[in-house]
Amino acid sequence: MINASAVNTLRYEPELCTGCRMCENVCPHGVFAVVSGKAELGKPDECMECGACERNCPEGAIRVDSGVGCASAMILAALTRKKQVPT
């Protein structure tokens, strides 16, 4: 398993990838791109840890601790109707 970034929890096992493109299709920041039948990490530091890639990967090649990072902050702000999340 590759720790894809030093700034988030994204981990990827390329040997499990079958090139289905689900990660590429669901990632809101374009972290993944399928090249020659396998997903590649083009922008791993752009991952906001939403977890969409992990939930949609049928092979279990992707792991991310969703609920942390900016995705969690955005959801909390939307639910509490605050523009900034208290630190």
Q: Is residue 9 a part of any domain in this protein?
A: yes
**Number of Cβ within a 10 Å radius of residue 74:** 13
- Does the residue 62 lie in any domain? yes
Which residues pair with residue 62 across a beta bridge? 12
Triad 63, 69, 75: Cα angle to 5°: 105
Average pLDDT, the chain: 84
Which pTM was predicted? Answer: 0.73
Give residue 87's pLDDT: 47
CATH of the domain at 67: 3.30.70.20
CA separation for the pair 59, 70 (Å, rounded): 26
Residue 87 lies in a domain: no
64: pLDDT strictly greater than 70? yes
Give me the number of domains the chain comprises. Answer: 1
pLDDT band of 85, cuts 50, 70, 90: very low
